[in-house]
Amino acid sequence: MHQTLSNRPNLPKFSALDFSKFGAAASMIGACLLTGCATQTQQLKMNESRDQFKNGDMQSAAATIQSVFKDKNTLYYLELGGVQRLQGAKQIPNSTQNLLVADQLVEQWEIATSDKLKRSFTNMSSYILSEGLSSNYDPKPYEVSLLSQTIALNHLSQGRWNDAMVEAKKMAQREKVIEELIQSKVTAVSKVEQQQQNNQNTKGATSRIQDIGGYPINLLDDEETRSLKNAYQSPAAYYLSGFIHESQGEASLAAPGYRLAIELRPSVNFFKTSIAKLDSNIANQAKKSFADTLIMIDTGYMPKISPHQISQSVAFGGNSKLVTLTFPVIEKSSDRFAPNYIQLGDRIANPELVANIDAMARKNLQDEMPAYVLRATSRALVSLAAQYAADQAAQQAARKNNQNNQNNNAAIIGAIAGMLTGYGLQAINVTDVRHWSTLPAQTYMARMGLPIGTTVLKFALPSGVIQSQTVNLVGGYNVIYIRMFRNKATVLTSNDPAALPLPPQVVAPQTITNPISTVPRAASDEVKPKEGTLDGFKKLFSGFMGPKPEEATLSAPVLAPPVELESAAAAPAVNPTPKPASVNMDGLKPYEPPNLLNSLQQLFN
């Protein structure tokens, strides 16, 4: 990565510096520094609290999530909803409520991102280079698939097999959207890289991680990661989809789910048995005298993704400059556990590994790395160019003034300009390391025919402790879900009455003896939405990267801000017949695409 800016007459304008403007600017940059690091700080705090989760302390884990997240974005609802369901069947209504909010926000993200990548090149460039600078969260492709899987499992716990089938269908539909978004993003990164390399300010920008010395690329290139077809299709989710459709007698919908599971994980034996017996299973459903049971076991923990800084030397303005680039790094796999003892009654299960979410996360980071590298190198070069321009402007001002006090003022202003520009652009030298950290690392499955009625479930935990629990199996189809932690586990079963919402309580109306009259708020008093903290740098970047992006209008419906949800410990009044995930989700804050930095250039006008 090389860049030479010597003998260049076309530097951006940083002249006529006004000292009076620096107070407000310093405040703005200070806020930018706080916001630029906020997403990293949030994830680092989540990483520090992982022992709570690994020990199965879901109440403390939920409290940590609620305290760490200042912005209730998509990731907040994913984390909280995922942890709440692991507190047990009684928290399933709360979990579903939060996961459905996340689901609606994901739909808005899909619309907004697709629109952004299909608009003009300047909008595409702005999106690619500003990604990660917003408090909004762009979900990972595998997280979107696992969201549908988790909502479906919640519906099964409540005996809502039809609603679970809706989620299974949505997962297949959403997969096409994800595939289109990934392809659009790959094309966009390639075009933006070409644009950056044609711009004399950012000529040294690159998207190749191989051009950056010192990055531990081996963590993205293990055998399991290489074996994946992509980073978003989960064999476990597809098999579950097939099982749900089979339970409803939908052979034409069950077969594609089973076939995709086999295609993604051909080594799993019972996948092949299920497709072979599908027609006979459906034909004989009415005659079944046993509980056809799918056992699903989640183990391990998602690897941490942390910011990793690498110093890189670049040629700039006739001198060698040292810049710091920040990239996400995923840690080595740890805490892997293969369940070796699962018994129901007198029957022993033989679970097989069907999905490796750890490897999916590595594959996703590998796919995203070109965009991360392009952003980091482009921002570093723009930072150098901005500081160079500020220094040049200060020197020009000093030459125009001959009086000592004016020279001193020019020097002071130049120093402040350089400092503000340097610190302000350091705030964007960040990388987005947020991820759904409470997901499991691996998923195992087994399918068995068991006696109808109560059965004792026994299994060995990673610590070696044997845990047992009585489960009730109904005639027809059942799902037993086990989430293993170090020394305990959460067990959820389908058709569990304890997972149903509490009936609404009828409260007698109160008589108000001294009613207080209220005056409607005038329209002028309405609280206006707060602009993104980083809007202030957009003009600065546009000076280096081309014309001002078009103003995009989001076609998604404008919704009211989400209603505050009660804490995990309290059971809210939930609609006893909730709608499927795709409908009836009013009261959400619309997705806001990341805004790139809007008015720092005013400092220098």
Selected residue with higher pLDDT from 573 and 334: 334
Q: What is the chain's length?
A: 605
Record the tokens describing residue 592, joined without a space: 């806001």
Residue 427's pLDDT is what? 57
In the chain, % of residues over pLDDT 70: 70
Please give the average per-residue pLDDT across 157-167, as a whole number: 97
Residue 114's pLDDT is what? 82
Selected residue with higher pLDDT from 425 and 501: 501
Residue 396's pLDDT is what? 77
Residue 528's CB is within 10 A of a number of other CB atoms, namely 5
Sheet holding 466-473, edge to edge: 347-349, 342-344, 453-460, 466-473
State in Å, rounded, how far the first CA of the chain is from the last one: 31
Work out whether the CA dihedral 434, 436, 439, 443 comes out positive or negative. negative
pLDDT band at 304 (very low <50, low <70, confident <90, very high): very high
Residue 28's pLDDT is what? 37
> What distance separates the 2 farthest-apart alpha carbons in the chain?
101
pLDDT band at 600 (very low <50, low <70, confident <90, very high): very low
Q: How far apart are CA 264 and CA 37, in angstroms?
A: 38
Residue 587's pLDDT is what? 39
How far is residue 177 from each of residues 132, 137, 257, 468, measured CA to CA in Å? 21, 17, 18, 42
What pLDDT, in 10s, does the model give residues 448-457? 999 999 999 9
Selected residue with higher pLDDT from 350 and 587: 350
Residue 134's pLDDT is what? 74
Residue 404's pLDDT is what? 54
Reduced to 3 states (helix: H, G, I; strand: E, B; else coil), residue 315 is: strand
**Cβ contacts of residue 247 below 8 Å, gap of 6+?**
161, 476, 477
pLDDT at 573 over 50: no
Record the tokens describing residue 311, joined without a space: 């110093």
Please give the average per-residue pLDDT across 396-410, as a whole number: 63
Instruction: Return the bridge partners of 484, or none.
Output: 489
**Based on C-alpha coordinates, what's the Rg of the chain?**
28
Q: Which of 300, 307, 439 is closest to 361 using CA atoms?
A: 439
* Alpha helices (H) in 55-91, listed in sequence order: 58-68, 74-85
Would residue 557 be called left, alpha or beta, if left means φ above 0 and alpha means ψ between -120 and 50 degrees? beta
State the amino acid at position 294 in one-letter form.
Answer: L
pLDDT band at 215 (very low <50, low <70, confident <90, very high): very high
Does residue 388 contact residue 599 with C-beta atoms inside 8 Å?
Answer: no
pLDDT at 343 over 70: yes
How far is residue 472 from each of residues 93, 124, 174, 298, 450, measured CA to CA in Å? 20, 53, 34, 20, 11
The model's pTM is: 0.77
Selected residue with higher pLDDT from 163 and 38: 163
Residue 555's pLDDT is what? 40
pLDDT band at 582 (very low <50, low <70, confident <90, very high): very low
Record the tokens describing residue 306, joined without a space: 């942390």
Residue 408's pLDDT is what? 60
Encode burial over 404-429: b for 16+ CB neighbours within 10 A, e otherwise: eeeeebbeebbebbbebbeebbbbbb
How far is residue 516 from each of residues 426, 513, 524, 525, measured CA to CA in Å? 52, 10, 23, 21
What pLDDT, in 10s, does the model give residues 426-450? 556 788 899 999 999 999 999 999 9
Record the tokens describing residue 534, joined without a space: 């980083």
pLDDT band at 132 (very low <50, low <70, confident <90, very high): low
What pLDDT, in 10s, does the model give residues 14-69? 333 333 333 333 333 444 444 455 666 776 677 777 889 999 999 999 999 999 99
pLDDT at 339 over 70: yes
Domains in the chain: boundaries? 33-496
Residue 289's pLDDT is what? 93
Does residue 272 contact residue 458 with C-beta atoms inside 8 Å?
Answer: no
Residue 40's pLDDT is what? 62
Residue 37's pLDDT is what? 57
Residue 592's pLDDT is what? 45
Task: Output the average pLDDT for the chain.
Answer: 78
Q: How far apart are CA 439 and CA 97, in angstroms?
A: 18
Selected residue with higher pLDDT from 503 and 414: 503
Residue 155's CB is within 10 A of a number of other CB atoms, namely 26
Does residue 293 contact residue 448 with C-beta atoms inside 8 Å?
Answer: yes
Q: How far apart are CA 377 and CA 313, in angstroms?
A: 11
Selected residue with higher pLDDT from 43 and 226: 226
**Cβ contacts of residue 462 below 8 Å, gap of 6+?**
299, 335, 337, 484, 485, 486, 487
Angle between helices 161-198 and 235-247 (to 10 degrees): 150
State the amino acid at position 492 in one-letter form.
Answer: L
Residue 315's pLDDT is what? 64
